[in-house]
Structure 1
Amino acid sequence: MLETKPSKAPPTIYLKNYQAPDYYIETIDLHFELGEKHTTVHSRLALSRHSKADSPSLVLNGEELELLSIKQDGQVLSKKNYYQDSESLTLLQVPDCFTLEIETRIYPQDNTTLSGLYTSSGNFCTQCEAEGFRRITYFLDRPDVMARYTTTIVADEKKYPILLSNGNLIAQGKWDTGRHFAKWQDPFPKPSYLFALVASDLARIEDEFITLSGRKIQLHMYVQPHNQDQCDHAMASLKRAMAWDEQVYGREYDLDIYMIVAVDDFNMGAMENKGLNIFNSKYVLAKPETATDTDYENIEAVIAHEYFHNWSGNRVTCRDWFQLSLKEGFTVFRDQQFSADQGSSAVKRIQVVNHLRSYQFREDAGPMAHPIRPESYVEINNFYTLTIYEKGAEVVRMLYRLLGTEGFRKGTDLYFKRHDGQAVTTDDFVQALEDANNTDFSQFRLWYSQAGTPELRISRIYDPEMSTYTLKVKQTCPPTPEQPHKAPFHIPLAIGLLDAEGRDLPLRLAGEAEAITGTRVLELRQAEETFVFQDIPCKPVPSLLRGFSAPVKLYLGLSNEEYCFLLVHDKDHFNRWEAGQQLAIKILLGLVEDHQQGKPLILDPAFTNTIEKILAGDESDQAFVAQILTLPSEHYLAEFMTVIDPEAAYKARRFLQRGLAEALHSTFTTTYESLAGTSPYHSSPEEIGRRKLRNICLEYLMTLDGPDIKSRCLQQFNESDNMTDVIAALSSLADTESSERKIALQAFYNQWKNDSLVMDKWLSLQALSRRQDTLTIVKKLTQHPAFKLTNPNKVRALIGAFCQGNPVRFHDPSGEGYRFLRDYILKLDPLNPQIAARLASTFNLWRRYDQNRQIIMKEQLEHIVNSPRISKDVYEITTKALG
């Protein structure tokens, strides 16, 4: 580990420099004495040399540690035998095999970084991924050092009656001093990033799960006592995930107990520590009065994600942090599969792609662009990115599509069997899929090493005399500074061709004996390729990239009429939605141009008629209809602008919403009224779909700003029995200049001011409002009791929501939004560098805006970089943004 310099130039870590550790740690015994002012940690490590390195020294990682003593094979070491710096402890002379005992003192109550051991709401908890364990004790804190852990926790019995760690409880007892202890042992070797400890006064909810082999698994969830009634959905989701993983992947849980602890202060969503998952409370707690349908869906997905990590991340883990997508991309794909099986698979796929294109594509086009297996980093926390997670999942999905369900299962079975208990690489994962299916993915591996979003430009020719239809495909990938030239990718392109009635035509390529009806997958491998389909009786409408079969940008040049046809007729639900999105993008870009040129904005009647047909149609999946009615976001629209114009994007989208609401007022009103629900609340896919469609109708109607609809909106707010409908109404009211807005916001606050998670929604709704005075409101809210700078959820709910979710107000030409963000990045950085860096990434695309905005954003970046002693996290983001 290189020493981090106190200057502005921290070292860069490179994949090409990876070396296996000189030593491995076979076992570690940890003893924690938890105190109200400080905590003492005693570790006993059994080390053995596993290399022929010439140096007799050993370098251990450690940060913010007070070293009390060191013993080597029972002998106390004097200071001449070791030295320390801010990030390491170096032992100068060590044998090939030895025992090392280290005693350190740490201060969890003062740890605002929320990395290592810290306190949240008076409870002790840990977060060790990626490099938090080094803030607990000196250690080889890297994922390829896997040890068996035994952990003893000692604490005040009254204050901390619950003492938890990884594995199985093997001993517990009381001491005369009013303290007690618990001893845990994890039988499976694991890297230090999976270590967990919790000491708390929490309520325990118990259940059990019977595995396919008949083993009984205890399921425990720990939450604050007043939240016990909000765990049913999380527990049910966990049991569904356990059953699904057995059925779909053949993975059975391996310990006798599985525990989840919910904490209020957490940098991430959740953490898959072996046997003891620690969760951000927002991804555990849910009841209809306080959680929306989206909360319910997110809880189910995150609970499943962390459980699935037990095999794809824990039993088989990463060799180094460059391989992060090995566990995260694969596990995100698995949780997406699970979620699709629980509800509407079409809607789940749409939601995933919408998020990917709105945000990950922006990441690919910005200064932090990197492959899903990066080549270098300064601070690993900055690489927990959408590229690693979401694009990583898309790469696994392509492998799944190329191999098919059976082939992919054969490959993953071999992967888990071959590498159980090992720390491996993305190449090892792909190799297992290849070996199990006797195939070659050499070219496909470029997805792991090349950055950027590939682009497909497709031309089409129909020859009525020869009855042939030709697709000419050209693939490119924009250059990046580190990779100016990109080799062609191996891309699965799923396609269909529709006849005049909307039926899929049989598809037979030249030279093939038989046609395939329905979707077929073309495997692109060259920079330019031509596909000629035979026996096509009429000019078809192409349905390309079905199911979003690859994370690419598709340029096809369909007419408005063809998009309307696909929107109504395509059998592929994703492509039906996509046709509507691309048609809306064309219309919105035209409106943007008209606005910029001072021309009057005019509604497209053909688009209006198509939307009316969809709204009044007989589609049974109401959640899918709601997705079709949702216009492309301002973020996604910006992807199509050479120079991003936030104001024009907002006004064009708002005009189209309002125009549709005016033209289809009666239809929206009738649909809204027909979808009124009855108590009690249900979280079934059908009921979720009903609420989604009803509330999108309300959103359209509220753009008309009439007193009748405001009254109806306030009525929904007052009379609804569930948070989904309450938030939908309050969100629409928050955008208005009305007495109803003030009444609703105050009533919501009065009712929920003691519920921290619900208050996050209250903060976000106001931060996302498109009102002119939103920044003024946000600034006032930073002083409100509901906001707390040291709580990541609060920061994301208010500052993150405004700066990253409200482009028209954040990008006000005055630059006040930019200066506001700068100030809070600098306030946060000393407290929590991870959260500060994520906020700093908001400036990444500053070069895409007009000159005035560029100048002001650049000034803020330079101000941050020139500030004294910024963290490595913020330094890396801001310097890369500046180039």
Structure 2
Amino acid sequence: CQQWGFERLVPCIDEMTAKCTYRTTIIADSRYTHMISNGDIAIPRQRLAKGYSFSHSSRFLHPHPVSEELDSITYENTTTPMAPYLFFLGVGTYASYQRTFEYPSGRAFLLELLCPPGSDPARAEQALDILEDGILWVYLFTGPHCYEHVEVRHEIYRLYTKRTKLRRRGADEEDLLRITRQMEHLDQEILAGYTYTGSVYREIGMQNSDFGGMENVGNTTISTNRLMPFAGMTDAGFEYLMRVKLHEYYHNLNGSEVTGETPFEIWLNEAVTVHIEQQYHAFHFGEEYSRLQTVISLLDPADGTFARDTGAAAMPIEPDGFNDPNDLITSVTYVKAPEFVRMVEEILGKEPFVWALSLYHRKFAHANASRDDWINLMGSIAGMDLGPMADGWLKRSGFPTVTVHPSYNPNDRSCTIRLLQSGGDPPWVFPFKLALMKADGTEIASTCHLVQHAEEEIILEDVDSPDYYSLNRDFSFYGLLDYHPDEDLLYLQARTDPEITARFLAYQSLASLEILHLMQDPGAAPSQEFITLYIDLLSDTELMEGAGAHFLTIFEDAGDPAFAHHYLAAYHARRSLELAIAQSHAPTLLALYRAYHQTDHTWESIGGLAAFIRNRQVKNLCLRLLARLDTPEVHEIIKNQFRNSPVSTDRMHAYGLLIASTDPERLELFREMMDCARKDPVVWEQFLAATTSADADDLVSLLREIEDSGYLRIEQANDQRAFYGRFARNRKVSLETEEGRSFLSDALFRLMVVNEYTTTGLLTTFSHIDQMDTKTHIPLMEILVNLLNHASSLTIQQTLKRIIMGNPTALATYQSLKGHVSDLEL
């Protein structure tokens, strides 16, 4: 239902604090395979006699023909009182796949997957495998004692996985029983985490959904394209799939059993759940890979959380107001708020944090908790008042920028690191992790310091002189560093720092200097020293297998506010840099491509697949660099991957490179791909995303052709996100070209009468008009003003007003030429 949706169905107090039990009777056409609501079945499904008379309470139902056969079923949800926004009622026709999940302790409940009729049974079983793995992981590796008897927990996990494989192969029952008894014995040595309390846990495919998933107390809905590991799913889609399954399952505890008090505290439901989800992802993909993925999502200059947190549409984690609860479903809630939780964990320590979290879940079980409840409880475990820290992070947008001035005194062998923070008054409170490093990557000393003031000093005594400083390790605080050591120290750190995020920040500083240099002088040659570093890192097998090719991301960012949000110029600079890398080291790139090309893999386990996903990233990065050469020889390599790879990720990556190339077959391949993709919703979504984010010179004409094909379904949320959403984020076209602006404007006018949530998301694309080239100010502001004049949705109107007024320079320029814009008050 979402917040305030249940009151549209029945007269009720529809608040998050209105936790109650439910008895629900469903009467529907007997041809439906499933009639579902929350809780357990109280009266089994039965056929009603023809001519059945509806009760007075059912008078609002649509009348049924006398000839229609009806069934009835009744559910009772009494174990866990739940808030009305968690109510679920679903009637439909699905293929059902079931299995029993048995905890190592012996307790069991039923898992059910409801997917489209005709779905591949093998893929459905794999989906249940992933769900089962997540449930087991929560049981073993969360909870107040999860850092105790870690070896025993891993052994139980190994035995459970072994039993699953043996059972699937038809092993002898005595062998299976032997493993079961081993697990039961080991289970007595640990105190496990959350145990599901229901008798059935369902995942239900929902094809047209604004959200990837929604917890509904035993009836989780998941976007159908992310429900199962379909053959057409890319690696990024698979990672999302495993995350969303774990995320929605953990909501049974954090969100359903313990619920935030008001919609303002939706972050309380989501941030901790994302924190647990990230730990699960790291369990399978590795901490380095997983943490780096999050850091990149923060730093992306075009669409990262930092960019969104400083633009005209920025909102605090806990705003003073909103137009609709969906306004709170943003990266601030799902990325920034989990970083706040992570900072609290850093202050408490990992073990005290899980104790505090468990105490929170026990104290407020089957009840509601406020922000202060969570903060005060965490503070009591930390032994300090976390209220001022929480006020800063939750009630204002933005983040700190920390200027660092280190110095070393050889006389008393002390090192002083002076910190000056900006971006907030009162100052932000956060943990700051750093280390003094030797040239070979050996740590001299390290500390984690709690920053509470605008200026602070950290003094490390009796230490050797460091060769370089490793700052904001593990990305310990949500913010940016203003630190500019000599380039030779950055190169040294980028090669030797063992902490992956600090090493990545050093590499990014060097990449930004290259982009700045090429934006200032487009005809200049990139630095050979940087190109050598890039190839050396790409050739570092240990780095690529641990962190993945994400480490070598080159943002279209000069690291200088004067050049920020000049998207086309930054793109050309990155293109020049990548072309220089390819021209200098084409044989190396081709050799690496071929070496990693041998790593294609089919499904066996999440952990096994994770290794091959990282390898595919390296292979496709090599191919993308080679594609910059744009030669017939490279075109043939790309087309070979496009036509022959069994992996969707490889095919989609090759497709995107082909349509951005000068290959004479590119348009033929585009139409071939469109015709193939339209037959499969998963492949269609990937096709739309790959096309709209491509670097093709004629991109808008390709998109017009997709619109005219009749295959695009604008009423489908997946199509909206993949087609219009991804195009909007391709800002070098959508905002900085005339044809791109025209296409985006048309799209917004069409979408705002179809889906206001998608529309408001797309509008954030305009958040930084003031920082863009002045020649774009009037045409972009004109789009916004025209939309405002025609928008009927209050939510869209208010979002437009915030963005228009949040770009005062562009607004003033527009009004000086076009006249006053009226009715801008919020």
TM-score of the superposition, structure 1-length normalised?
0.80
Shift of the 233–591 alpha-carbon distance from structure 1 to 2, 3 Å rule, reads farther
Residue 81 of structure 1 corresponds to none
Please tell me the residue identity of whatever aligns with 1:371.
P
Residue 149 of structure 1 corresponds to 22
User: Are 2:247 and 1:323 aligned?
Assistant: no
Q: In 2, Cα distance between the equivalents of 1:537 and 1:832? A: 60
Structure 1, gaps ≥5 residues long: 1-127, 479-485, 507-518
Residue number among 625, 642, 663 corresponding to 2:584 in the alignment: 663
Q: Which moved more, 1:390-399 or 1:441-450?
A: 441-450
Residue 707 of structure 1 corresponds to 632
The 5 A counterparts of 1:125-140 are 128-140=1-13
SS at match of 1:785: coil
Question: What is the CA-CA distance between 1:676 and the residue it aligns to?
Answer: 2.1
Residue number among 234, 237, 254 corresponding to 2:127 in the alignment: 234
Misfit runs of 4+, over 4 Å: 636-643
- Does the Cα contact within 8 Å between 1:211 and 1:253 map onto a contact in 2? no
Residue 531 of structure 1 corresponds to 458
Shift of the 638–303 alpha-carbon distance from structure 1 to 2, 3 Å rule, reads farther
Please tell me the residue identity of whatever aligns with 1:645.
H
The 5 A counterparts of 1:97-116 are none
Question: What is the CA-CA distance between 1:618 and the residue it aligns to?
Answer: 4.1
Shift of the 464–550 alpha-carbon distance from structure 1 to 2, 3 Å rule, reads same
Shift of the 853–138 alpha-carbon distance from structure 1 to 2, 3 Å rule, reads farther
Q: In 2, Cα distance between the equivalents of 1:650 and 1:699? A: 14
Q: In 1, Cα distance between the equivalents of 2:632 and 2:3? A: 53
Question: What is the CA-CA distance between 1:629 and the residue it aligns to?
Answer: 2.4
Residue 811 of structure 1 corresponds to 735
Give aligned-pair identity as a percent: 25
Question: What is the CA-CA distance between 1:349 and the residue it aligns to?
Answer: 0.7
Residue 163 of structure 1 corresponds to 35
Question: What is the CA-CA distance between 1:435 and the residue it aligns to?
Answer: 2.7
Question: What is the CA-CA distance between 1:267 and the residue it aligns to?
Answer: 0.8
Question: What is the CA-CA distance between 1:811 and the residue it aligns to?
Answer: 2.1
Higher strand proportion, which one? 1
Q: In 2, Cα distance between the equivalents of 1:170 and 1:676? A: 55
- Does the Cα contact within 8 Å between 1:144 and 1:191 map onto a contact in 2? yes
Residue 329 of structure 2 corresponds to 384
- Does the Cα contact within 8 Å between 2:97 and 2:125 map onto a contact in 1? no
- Does the Cα contact within 8 Å between 1:217 and 1:255 map onto a contact in 2? yes
- C-alpha offsets along residues 808-843 of structure 1, whole Å, 9 cap, x if unaligned? 1112343x3233323322322222221222122222
Question: What is the CA-CA distance between 1:365 and the residue it aligns to?
Answer: 0.8
Q: In 1, Cα distance between the equivalents of 2:621 and 2:796? A: 38
Please tell me the residue identity of whatever aligns with 1:502.
G
SS at match of 2:542: coil
SS at match of 2:736: coil
Question: What is the CA-CA distance between 1:641 and the residue it aligns to?
Answer: 4.2
SS at match of 1:529: strand
The 5 A counterparts of 1:19-418 are 128-158=1-31, 160-171=32-43, 172-177=45-50, 178-187=69-78, 188-229=80-121, 230-247=123-140, 248-249=142-143, 250-287=193-230, 289-358=231-300, 359-418=304-363
- Does the Cα contact within 8 Å between 1:657 and 1:703 map onto a contact in 2? yes
- Does the Cα contact within 8 Å between 1:143 and 1:320 map onto a contact in 2? yes
- C-alpha offsets along residues 561-591 of structure 1, whole Å, 9 cap, x if unaligned? 1121111111102222222122101211221
User: Are 2:480 and 1:553 aligned?
Assistant: yes
- Does the Cα contact within 8 Å between 2:599 and 2:616 map onto a contact in 1? no
Question: What is the CA-CA distance between 1:679 and the residue it aligns to?
Answer: 6.0
Shift of the 552–235 alpha-carbon distance from structure 1 to 2, 3 Å rule, reads same
- C-alpha offsets along residues 640-688 of structure 1, whole Å, 9 cap, x if unaligned? 4455211111100111111111112121111111112266524522211
- C-alpha offsets along residues 515-561 of structure 1, whole Å, 9 cap, x if unaligned? xxxx4211111110012222233343000001101110111112221
Q: In 2, Cα distance between the equivalents of 1:428 and 1:774? A: 51
- Does the Cα contact within 8 Å between 1:566 and 1:579 map onto a contact in 2? yes
Q: In 2, Cα distance between the equivalents of 1:638 and 1:581? A: 9
Q: In 2, Cα distance between the equivalents of 1:631 and 1:709? A: 22
Residue 827 of structure 1 corresponds to 750
- C-alpha offsets along residues 121-172 of structure 1, whole Å, 9 cap, x if unaligned? xxxxxxx1233223333332221211211111111111x1210111111112
Please tell me the residue identity of whatever aligns with 1:283.
R
Residue 517 of structure 2 corresponds to 590
SS at match of 1:664: helix
Q: In 1, Cα distance between the equivalents of 2:536 and 2:559? A: 28
Residue 788 of structure 1 corresponds to 713
- C-alpha offsets along residues 174-208 of structure 1, whole Å, 9 cap, x if unaligned? 11331101211111211111111111110001122
Q: In 2, Cα distance between the equivalents of 1:783 and 1:136? A: 38
User: Are 2:683 and 1:758 aligned?
Assistant: yes
Q: In 2, Cα distance between the equivalents of 1:267 and 1:372? A: 20
Q: In 2, Cα distance between the equivalents of 1:730 and 1:251? A: 44
- Does the Cα contact within 8 Å between 2:444 and 2:466 map onto a contact in 1? no
SS at match of 1:303: helix
Residue number among 641, 644, 665 corresponding to 2:565 in the alignment: 644
- Does the Cα contact within 8 Å between 1:270 and 1:277 map onto a contact in 2? yes
Residue 534 of structure 2 corresponds to 611
Q: In 2, Cα distance between the equivalents of 1:378 and 1:748? A: 40
- C-alpha offsets along residues 400-437 of structure 1, whole Å, 9 cap, x if unaligned? 11111210011011101110111221221122222344
Question: What is the CA-CA distance between 1:637 and the residue it aligns to?
Answer: 5.2
Q: In 1, Cα distance between the equivalents of 2:307 and 2:198? A: 41
Q: In 1, Cα distance between the equivalents of 2:494 and 2:228? A: 38
SS at match of 2:41: strand
Please tell me the residue identity of whatever aligns with 1:761.
Q
TM-score of the superposition, structure 2-length normalised?
0.85
Residue 79 of structure 1 corresponds to none
Q: In 2, Cα distance between the equivalents of 1:638 and 1:217? A: 53
Q: In 2, Cα distance between the equivalents of 1:356 and 1:189? A: 37
- C-alpha offsets along residues 209-244 of structure 1, whole Å, 9 cap, x if unaligned? 123543211000101122243333432221122112
Alignment coverage as a number of residue pairs = 726
- Does the Cα contact within 8 Å between 1:209 and 1:217 map onto a contact in 2? yes
Q: In 1, Cα distance between the equivalents of 2:5 and 2:312? A: 27
- C-alpha offsets along residues 61-112 of structure 1, whole Å, 9 cap, x if unaligned? xxxxxxxxxxxxxxxxxxxxxxxxxxxxxxxxxxxxxxxxxxxxxxxxxxxx
Q: Which moved more, 1:418-427 or 1:822-831?
A: 822-831
Residue number among 440, 448, 456 corresponding to 2:394 in the alignment: 448
SS at match of 1:788: coil
Residue 860 of structure 1 corresponds to 783
SS at match of 1:543: strand
- Does the Cα contact within 8 Å between 1:626 and 1:696 map onto a contact in 2? yes
SS at match of 1:311: coil
Question: What is the CA-CA distance between 1:494 and the residue it aligns to?
Answer: 0.9
Residue 429 of structure 2 corresponds to 490
Q: In 2, Cα distance between the equivalents of 1:432 and 1:537? A: 40
Question: What is the CA-CA distance between 1:471 and the residue it aligns to?
Answer: 0.8
Shift of the 743–715 alpha-carbon distance from structure 1 to 2, 3 Å rule, reads farther
RMSD, aligned CA: 1.8
Q: In 2, Cα distance between the equivalents of 1:678 and 1:882? A: 49
Residue 64 of structure 2 corresponds to none
Q: In 2, Cα distance between the equivalents of 1:643 and 1:552? A: 17
- Does the Cα contact within 8 Å between 1:577 and 1:627 map onto a contact in 2? no
- Does the Cα contact within 8 Å between 1:623 and 1:693 map onto a contact in 2? no
Structure 2, gaps ≥5 residues long: 51-68, 144-192, 806-826
Higher helix proportion, which one? 2
